[in-house]
Amino acid sequence: MPIDMAVVPVAGRGTRLLPLTKSQPKEMLPVGRKPVVQYVVEELARCGLGRLLFVTGPGKTAIENHFDIDAELITNLRETGREELLQELAFEREDLEYFYTRQRRQLGLGHAVLCAKPVVGRDPFVVALGDSIIGLHAQSNVVRLMVEQFESNGADVVIAFENVPREEVVQYGIAKPRKQGEVFELDDLVEKPDVAEAPSTLAVAARYVFSPVVFDYLQRTPPGKGGEIQLTDAIRMMIRDGRKALGVRLPEGEQRFDIGNFESYFQAFVEFALADPDYGPALRTCLVDWLSSHEPKQAEKTRWS
| Least gap, CB of 297 to ligand G1P (angstroms) | 32
133 binding ligand G1P? (CB under 6 A): no
With CB under 6 A as the contact rule, the residue among 57, 177, 224, 260 that binds ligand G1P is: 260
Of 97, 36, 28, nearest in space to 68 by CA: 97
| Least gap, CB of 159 to ligand G1P (angstroms) | 9
Residue closer to ligand G1P, measured from CB, 144 or 225: 225
- Choices 69-77, 118-126, 148-156, 201-209; region in contact with ligand G1P by CB under 6 A: 201-209
- Taking CB atoms within 8 Å and a gap of at least 24, the contacts of 45-48 are 45/94, 45/96, 46/138, 46/139, 46/141, 46/144, 47/126, 47/141, 47/143, 47/144, 47/147, 48/2, 48/4, 48/144, 48/147
203 binding ligand G1P? (CB under 6 A): yes
Residue closer to ligand G1P, measured from CB, 92 or 102: 102
| Least gap, CB of 139 to ligand G1P (angstroms) | 19
Residue closer to ligand G1P, measured from CB, 6 or 206: 206
Residue type, 89: L
The answer to whether 156 and 208 are in contact (CB under 8 A) is no
- Choices 95-103, 199-207, 210-218, 277-285; region in contact with ligand G1P by CB under 6 A: 199-207
How many residues touch ligand G1P (CB under 6 A)? 14
